[in-house]
A and B are shown apart, each in its own frame.
Chain A
Amino acid sequence: MRKVMRVVNRAQCIGCYSCMYACSRTYFHIATTKLAALRVKNYAGVEGAFSIRICIGCTHPDCAAACPTEALTIREGGGVIFHEEKCIHCYKCVEACTLNAMQWDPIAREPLVCHQCGICAEYCPNDVLALVEVEDDREAHND
């Protein structure tokens, strides 16, 4: 068993961005939504419709496979580990993630890699996100 992130109650999202603030605050000590390794997207004209894109900790991550320099390596338990010194800023990892979960820091020109730590879920006031135990990548996609 391993613990990875899941969107468990998407429709309960209120769009407060507390998750993104928590992630940026924890890893960058900055009050912003933009350095978060996940994204709450809202759709034009659909009041209150949010889609949450978060790394689900794949065991065979497309992002790592797409990286030409092994700057992303497979993390035990799912997801990837980022080796900054190897990154050539090619953006291929972001393009490879169909979920659009891999976020990008446009200033450092580097991916923002999820640590599967669950801090975002901890700050979610409405139980939208959770760090859940799974065996298979395909499990626990509730919403």
Chain B
Amino acid sequence: MINRILKIDLTKKKAEVYSDEKLYEDFLGGTGVATKLLYEQHIEKIDPLSPESPIILSIGPLNGIYPIATKTIAMFKSPLTGNLGESHAGGRLFMSMYDANLSAIVITGKLDMPSYIAIENEEVRFVPANSIWGQSASATERILRSAEKGIGKRSIIRIGPAGENLSLMANVAVDTGRHFGRLGLGAVMGSKNLKAIVISGNYRHKMENFAEFNKTYNEIFWTAVKSPAMKKYHNLGTPQNVLPLNKINSLPTRNFSQGFFEGAEFLSGENLAKNYLAQQIACANCPVGCIHLGTLREAFEDETHFKTLKIPYDYEPIYAMGTNLSINNPNALFKLLNTVEKAGWDVMETGITLSWATEAFEKGLIGTNQTEGLILNFGDAETYQKVLGFMKENKNEFFSDLNKGSAYCAEKYGGKEFAINFGKNGSPGYITGRDAFLGFLMGVRHSHLDSAGYSIDEKIISGDLNADPAEEIDMLINEEEWRFILNSLTICLFARKIYTEDLVLRALKSAGINKTSEDLKNIARKIHALKYKIKIDNGFDLNNLNFPEKLFNVQTGRGKMDKATVQEMIKTYTNRIKSLVETHAQ
């Protein structure tokens, strides 16, 4: 396995590689290694947008080797939350890092002018590029794909104008239709004058035990190709969830006012596939192909000229810019997604901030003097387009503030009770019940992917599981800790049912890494504790945690939540985290 870390200092324009066998022995790779590297940077003393602020990219021992081990982990200090920043992306980035024989890249410093960097194996070139500053995230990829030939398959990650303007919800686009979406990595890149990173390599990693490797490869590949669960990700993709969630009253609508969206059918995976899907594409080394590109065909001039764009769509963007803003027209939704994509914002934080703003406008907390005369209404896609335009140009103080996310805005203008964020991160799209929310609140990156509490809620709704607060907390923690292992390898979580513990141990073994089930549990606990140590050191207050008040008045998939029970659960969960940090953070 690779244990080579490339350290890049943008200020000095210097790079060096070092190896650290023990780090990988102790933390596997991916999120485990990135957590340890971030911990060592002592980000509690660092402003997230200062030159010292680190960007860590990290892959694991199964990346580049086995199918659907397609993720790269990014860790940083989040400018959105001021705390632990972590985001995962697919695409080809893992492959290019593997080909470059690099398991992690740590970037600090600041470039003296707008530039991009090109990494070819361990060689780093710093290329001044004033001409691409200001270009959309999509244009930047087109330009760099012809400017940089690379020495192997190239991965291009870049920011749009949102990142350049230090919007705290700016994302980083990765190849086609994939992103380091959450928690504001785009602003960190922007603060470093770093527009893009192009990575390629030409190392060849000979498999030590080829027969064993080949056997495991085939087992994973053919299970993935034949599995009905994986087929669903290819066929309808994640929007397959729209109708089932709507049916159980769990699809966030009009800023989490209800779980039923009357226009769900229009935004359903079924309708989009039937009427809008251009094609599916895949991350490298993944036969599933879950990335769905929708068609946006628009007339211009005299209605006889047309332009056709391909817009990547997934469940979360559909919820964030669709159902939760009451937009039911796929064309209008695709146009909004395209604007967000080109500017380079996190679509989820953008959606939550707009839905907060709309409710704040309804309630009179903000008015037309702030919105430059715009009247914010749920369902009004044209006005939302204008809002995005004003946000992009930081039109006035209010639109600048929108760029700082829903938590900041609610603090300043009011409406905290209906700013649906957890740990200052805009909520993912589930109103299934308390376990979804508890997962968002207590998960290390406040993501639905931390512990998938919605899945526990769904099992309770369907009657497959009985409600039991203590057991629900156990399940959330166990799931999150197992995912620390998958995220250290680094597997796409869509393949989590294929990558069982048994398969993971065998896959590691045939990659030359001998671990036991007990080893993995210990590593997971250590990762969990260390991440929380970072969170606490950066001011995450375990004694002051709650759900946004509005959610207690909403009918979730599991009905209305009992506030006292939820608060008791938060307390229990918090105590478990405290004792975990005491015993395992090192």
Taking a contact as CB atoms under 8 Å apart, the answer to whether A47 and B177 are in contact is yes
Q: Which residues of A contact B280 (CB under 8 A)?
A: 14
Q: Which residues of B contact A45 (CB under 8 A)?
A: 138-139, 141-142, 145
Taking a contact as CB atoms under 8 Å apart, the answer to whether A48 and B310 are in contact is yes
* Cα–Cα distance between A45 and B140 once the two chains are bound (Å): 9
* Cα–Cα distance between A29 and B80 once the two chains are bound (Å): 45
Taking a contact as CB atoms under 8 Å apart, the answer to whether B287 and A31 are in contact is no
Interface size for chain A: under 10, 10 to 19, 20 to 34, or 35 or more residues? 20 to 34
Q: Which residues of B contact A44 (CB under 8 A)?
A: 141-142, 145-146
Q: Which residues of B contact A30 (CB under 8 A)?
A: 204-207
Given contacts A17-B285, A18-B285, A31-B64, contact A47 B204 (CB under 8 A): no
Taking a contact as CB atoms under 8 Å apart, the answer to whether A15 and B65 are in contact is no
Taking a contact as CB atoms under 8 Å apart, the answer to whether A29 and B207 are in contact is yes
* Cα–Cα distance between A125 and B235 once the two chains are bound (Å): 13
Cβ of B210 under 8 Å from chain A:
yes
Taking a contact as CB atoms under 8 Å apart, the answer to whether A125 and B289 are in contact is yes
Cβ of B559 under 8 Å from chain A:
no
Q: Which residues of B contact A91 (CB under 8 A)?
A: none
Q: In the assembled complex, how far is the CB of residue B317 from the closest CB belonging to chain A, in whole angstroms?
A: 15
Q: Which residues of A contact B152 (CB under 8 A)?
A: 33-34
Q: Which residues of B contact A47 (CB under 8 A)?
A: 176-177, 281, 293, 310, 312
Taking a contact as CB atoms under 8 Å apart, the answer to whether B205 and A107 are in contact is no
* Cα–Cα distance between A126 and B287 once the two chains are bound (Å): 9
Cβ of A32 under 8 Å from chain B:
yes
Q: In the assembled complex, how far is the CB of residue A9 from the closest CB belonging to chain B, in whole angstroms?
A: 12
Residue among B64, B65, B204, B293 with most chain A CB within 10 A: B204
Nearest A residue (CB) for B67: A18
* Cα–Cα distance between A45 and B173 once the two chains are bound (Å): 13
Nearest B residue (CB) for A33: B153
Q: Which residues of B contact A106 (CB under 8 A)?
A: 151, 202
Taking a contact as CB atoms under 8 Å apart, the answer to whether B176 and A125 are in contact is no
Residue among A31, A107, A125, A126 with most chain B CB within 10 A: A31
Q: Which residues of A contact B279 (CB under 8 A)?
A: 11, 14, 48
Taking a contact as CB atoms under 8 Å apart, the answer to whether B202 and A29 are in contact is no
Q: In the assembled complex, how far is the CB of residue A142 from the closest CB belonging to chain B, in whole angstroms?
A: 18
Nearest B residue (CB) for A31: B65
Given contacts A16-B286, A29-B206, contact A48 B281 (CB under 8 A): yes
- Which of A16, A31, A48 makes the CB contact (< 8 A) with B293? A48
Cβ of A25 under 8 Å from chain B:
yes
Cβ of B282 under 8 Å from chain A:
yes
Q: Which residues of A contact B281 (CB under 8 A)?
A: 14-15, 47-48
Digitize B60-73: 1 where CB-to-A-CB distance is under 8 Å, 0 elsewhere.
Answer: 00001101000000
Q: Which residues of B contact A123 (CB under 8 A)?
A: 221, 287
Cβ of A37 under 8 Å from chain B:
no
Cβ of A80 under 8 Å from chain B:
no
* Cα–Cα distance between A129 and B217 once the two chains are bound (Å): 21
Q: Which residues of A contact B99 (CB under 8 A)?
A: 32, 34
Taking a contact as CB atoms under 8 Å apart, the answer to whether B278 and A48 are in contact is yes
* Cα–Cα distance between A25 and B176 once the two chains are bound (Å): 26
* Cα–Cα distance between A48 and B152 once the two chains are bound (Å): 19
Nearest B residue (CB) for A126: B289
Given contacts A18-B67, A25-B217, A47-B176, contact A33 B284 (CB under 8 A): yes
Given contacts A18-B67, A31-B65, A32-B99, contact A48 B287 (CB under 8 A): no
Residue among B207, B210, B225, B289 with most chain A CB within 10 A: B289
Interface residues in A52-88 (C-beta closer than 8 Å to B): none
* Cα–Cα distance between A25 and B205 once the two chains are bound (Å): 11
Taking a contact as CB atoms under 8 Å apart, the answer to whether A107 and B202 are in contact is yes
* Cα–Cα distance between A32 and B176 once the two chains are bound (Å): 20
* Cα–Cα distance between A123 and B67 once the two chains are bound (Å): 11
Cβ of A114 under 8 Å from chain B:
no
* Cα–Cα distance between A45 and B135 once the two chains are bound (Å): 13
* Cα–Cα distance between A16 and B285 once the two chains are bound (Å): 5
Cβ of B283 under 8 Å from chain A:
yes
Taking a contact as CB atoms under 8 Å apart, the answer to whether B204 and A16 are in contact is no
Complex A-B, nearest 5 residue pairs according to Cβ-Cβ distance, in ascending order: A45-B142, A44-B145, A14-B289, A16-B282, A125-B287
Which chain A residues have a beta carbon within 8 Å of chain B's beta carbons?
A: 11, 14-18, 21, 25, 28-35, 42, 44-45, 47-48, 106-107, 123, 125-126
Starting from the known contacts A18-B285, A30-B206, A32-B64, 17 additional A-B residue pairs (CB-CB under 8 Å) come to A14-B280, A16-B283, A17-B153, A17-B285, A18-B67, A25-B214, A30-B205, A31-B65, A32-B205, A34-B152, A44-B142, A47-B293, A106-B202, A107-B202, A107-B204, A125-B225, A125-B288
